Amino acid sequence: MKIIIKTKQPKQQGLFACVFAQLLEILPFLKKNNIYPEFIITSVFYGLGRTRNVFPHYVQHNYDYETNNNMEPNMELVNSLKNESSTENCIEIYFEEVYKKKSNHIPAHEAHKLFFEYFKFDPAIYETCKEMMIPYEDKKILGLHYRGTDKMQKTPDYKGYYEATHITLDSVLEILKHEIEVRKIDAVFVATDDPTIIPNVEKYLQKDVIYFTYNFPIPVNAAFHSCQRSEKDKLEMGLSAIRDVIVLSQCNVVFKYCSQMSAFCKIFNPDLEIYRVNKPNYFWLPESLVPLYDQNTRS
């Protein structure tokens, strides 16, 4: 028996925030009921090809979905969820129906185990990350994720839409300078949607700054995913985000702006020491697993 879980409507937002995070939230339910489906998750900004599916371009199944991983699913439940496209040998379920069964909190180690039981990334992605970090194999690395082009409150008294409170880059660099001295950090890895900050980071911290060069158009004051048009640019944009999170997850410590993307560091490496530098106006998984940095009790 094959089971397919597919979106009724394409996902509208980011790869990590809208696709990976929502997939993570349904995994406890799927695992409990022995459901190992083929996922067909369509995305406006990341989907490729005629179907606009994110699989297998960015992430792949880590089991044989043709046989439901050779497991016997809870058929009473599966039959209660199946849609009109189901056949005798293949049951189709809308993702939106399964998402009603989501878990809002999953401990980091459990989330890590579940995510990589169900999903895997192309080994070539890990190889690219490894090559980037070869010169720093024996070094202590601090990771920074700077989310600068959208979603953050513009000023402390800003009244418009935002998902996280305001904090200046200068304030964050001051935090990092202190932590670098105390922790005896050798280099800084930066993941950012605003590469123009790199010279300022290098100048202020006086450390080697490591970062990937983006091979797609960089928008101004807008989210990356809302500005890519070609399939090549969309693919590179998504893969670059995955590479950034993998390298961040391998750092000795990470300081991050509010973002579901960098919050996935805690899923990739549940033992990672990681802090948020600003407060979100939400507590979605996995951002809810990352503590707020407390300058009063810092190192």
Contact 37, 71 (CB under 8 A): no
Cis previous bond, 286, omega within 30: yes
* Residue 227: per-residue pLDDT: 57
**248-297 pLDDT, tens digit each:** 999 999 999 999 999 999 999 999 999 999 888 878 899 999 999 987 76
Residue 184 burial (C-beta neighbours within 10 Å; 0-12, 13-18, 19+)? exposed
- Indicate the average pLDDT of the chain: 90
> Of all helices (H) and strands (E), which one includes residue 269?
none
b/e burial code for range 147-182 (CB count within 10 A of at least 16 → b): bebbbbbeeeeeeeebbbeebebeebbebbeebbee
User: Distance between CA 297 and CA 299 in Å, rounded?
Assistant: 7
- Residue 70 CB burial class (10 angstroms; 0-12, 13-18, ≥19): exposed
The predicted pLDDT at position 114 comes to 98
Confidence (pLDDT) at 193: 84
The letter for the amino acid at 195 is P
Q: How far is CA 40 from the centre of its chain?
A: 18
CA angle 104, 109, 115 (to 5 degrees): 70
- Give the separation between CA 139 and CA 13, rounded to whole angstroms: 36
Domains of the chain with CATH codes: 2-120 (no CATH), 134-297 (3.40.50)
Q: 186-239: per-residue pLDDT in tens?
A: 999 999 988 889 999 999 999 999 999 887 556 555 555 455 468 888 899 999
